[in-house]
Amino acid sequence: NFTMPAYNDLVITPHYTDAVTAEDGLYVNMPRKNTYAAPKMVNFPDGVSSFKVYDHAGPTAVYGLLCDGYMILSAPENKKILLTGTVMTERGCDYLEIYDGNTTETLIGSYGNYHYVSPGTYEGQDIGEVRSSGQYLLLHFVSDGYGNYDGINIKAELVTDPNLPTAFSGFT
C-alpha cells in the first residue's frame, strides 16, 4: 500500500488480475470527487473487451454523500463504447450524467432513480443502451448531502464501428 502524502484518505493498493471482461469480474470505480479539468481517464487496455463501472464505493457498498466525480472512458481507434446497466440513486437529488465525447458539450442523458418492486425490494433505473459516437464517453456522478443508495452498476463494452470500411479481399 502507498498513502499519498498530501491526501491522508487516499491509499493506492495495486491488484493484479487475469480478468479481461466484466463477466470475469473486471471493474473500475468512479472517483468520489475530482474536477472536470482533471477527470479520471480509463482506457480499454489491449485484450480487454468489457468491464463494469461502479460508483466510488464499488459493487458491495452504497455511495457516499457529496460526490462530484468525473471519468472519461476511452476506446481504442476504430472502436466505440456501449454502456448498459442500472443507476439506483436518491430520487431527484443524485444522478449520473453521460456525455458523448470527452467534454460536457453533448449530454446523452441523466440517470438516477429507483423503482419499488415489493416490500423492501427496489431496483435501479435501467439506462438502456448508451452508445458513443466516437472513442469517448464522459461520466459525471453527483450526490447531495442526504440519502444514498446502491449507485452505479454499468457494463462498458467495446463495439466495432459499423460505419468503418471493411478490409478488401481483392480487386477486380
3-class secondary structure, 16: coil
Hey, what's the cell of 50?
468489457
Q: What does the alpha-carbon distance between residue 1 and residue 114 come to, in Å, rounded to a whole number?
A: 36
Angle at 37 between CA 149 and CA 154, to 5 degrees: 35
Q: What does the alpha-carbon distance between residue 49 and residue 55 come to, in Å, rounded to a whole number?
A: 20
Segment holding 158, helix H or strand E: strand 151-160
Query: What pLDDT sits at residue 36?
Result: 79
Greatest alpha-carbon pair distance for the chain in Å reads: 68
Output the DSSP codes for 69-117. EEEEEEPPTTEEEEEEEEEE--TTT-EEEEEESSSSSSEEEEE-BEEEE
Tens digit of pLDDT at every position of the chain (172 positions): 444 455 555 555 655 566 678 888 889 999 999 887 788 999 998 889 999 999 999 999 999 999 999 999 999 999 999 999 999 998 888 999 999 999 999 999 999 887 777 777 777 899 999 999 999 999 999 999 888 888 999 999 999 866 655 444 444 4
Hey, what's the cell of 148?
444514498
Query: What pLDDT sits at residue 12?
Result: 58
For the purposes of burial, counting CB atoms within 10 Å of the CB of 65, is it exposed (0-12), middle (13-18) or buried (19 or more)? middle
Query: What pLDDT sits at residue 71?
Result: 95
The dihedral region occupied by 128, where left means phi > 0, alpha psi between -120 and 50, and beta the remainder, is left
